[in-house]
């Protein structure tokens, strides 16, 4: 008497089929590429791809100046006059642009980590945008006769999470980050002496 597959085999086949649905890679993306599985729908909107963010981050990381030289106290002094101050600020911002960018990102990260309510507000915004975006993938979202584009979806998510941001004191956090950034970067750019190559470049510029 022929025997069919055991219950254990049926269970394995069923799990394989579900895994295939989860990780399948056909026709999930609106352009026809991607996958039909759940994970395949987790694509980012156009212009927000991870590869672009990684490429930007790598460019910044490669162009960063050594931190030891960046904070070398022997290279700091008081500007001789207002003209010297302006030259230092302009040249140092150009030279240490990547360092300043990472300082700015670090201050943002510190502000978020040190404020649990701000973390909750960001989670609410991300969740709202994610849900709206998935709904837009399933069927076009139309409000007042207009289809919701990605910027519109982000604006709607922002409006939904606005009360939480208000409770978290997001406005004060933004002003704190901007103020701290201007103070740190402005102080460094004003008091950090120019490199020898920058001085030679300034001397060679026509008056």
Tokens of 140: 């076009």
- pLDDT tens, residue order, the chain (207 aa): 555 555 444 444 444 444 444 344 444 444 444 444 433 444 455 555 667 777 877 888 888 899 998 999 999 999 999 988 999 999 999 999 999 999 999 999 998 888 888 888 888 888 888 888 787 777 776 666 677 777 777 788 888 888 888 888 888 888 999 999 999 999 999 999 887 655 555 545 554
Whether residue 122 is contained in a domain is answered as yes
Whether residue 128 is contained in a domain is answered as yes
For the chain, the straight-line distance linking the first and the last C-alpha, in angstroms and rounded, comes to 102
Whether residue 81 is contained in a domain is answered as yes
Whether residue 29 is contained in a domain is answered as no
Whether residue 62 is contained in a domain is answered as no
Tokens of 149: 């584009």
Whether residue 55 is contained in a domain is answered as no
Burial (0-12, 13-18, 19+ Cβ within 10 Å), 7: exposed
Q: Specify the DSSP element, H or E, that contains 36.
A: none
Whether residue 3 is contained in a domain is answered as no
The total number of structural domains in the chain stands at: 1
**pTM of the predicted protein model:** 0.60
Domain that holds residue 129: 74-198
Whether residue 50 is contained in a domain is answered as no
- Residue 186 contacts by C-beta under 8 Å, 6 or more apart in sequence? 89
């Amino acid at each position: 008497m022929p025997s069919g597959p055991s219950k254990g085999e049926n269970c394995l086949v069923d799990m394989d089929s579900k895994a295939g649905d989860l990780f399948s890679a056909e026709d999930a993306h609106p352009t026809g590429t991607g996958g039909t599985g759940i994970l395949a729908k987790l694509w980012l909107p156009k212009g927000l791809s991870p590869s672009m963010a990684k490429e930007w981050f790598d460019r910044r990381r490669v162009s960063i100046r050594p931190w030891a030289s960046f904070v070398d106290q022997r290279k700091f002094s008081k500007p001789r006059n207002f003209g010297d101050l302006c030259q230092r600020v302009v040249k140092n911002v150009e030279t240490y642009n990547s360092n300043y960018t990472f300082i700015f990102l670090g201050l943002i990260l510190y502000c978020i980590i040190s404020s649990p309510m701000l973390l909750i507000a960001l989670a609410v915004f991300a969740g709202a945008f994610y849900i709206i975006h998935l709904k837009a993938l399933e069927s076009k979202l139309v409000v007042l006769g207009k289809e919701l584009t990605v910027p519109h979806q982000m604006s709607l998510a922002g409006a939904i999470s606005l009360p939480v941001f208000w409770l978290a004191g997001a406005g004060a956090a933004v002003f704190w980050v901007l103020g701290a950034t201007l103070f740190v970067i402005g102080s460094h750019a004003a008091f950090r002496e120019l490199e020898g190559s920058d001085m030679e470049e300034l001397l060679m510029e026509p008056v």
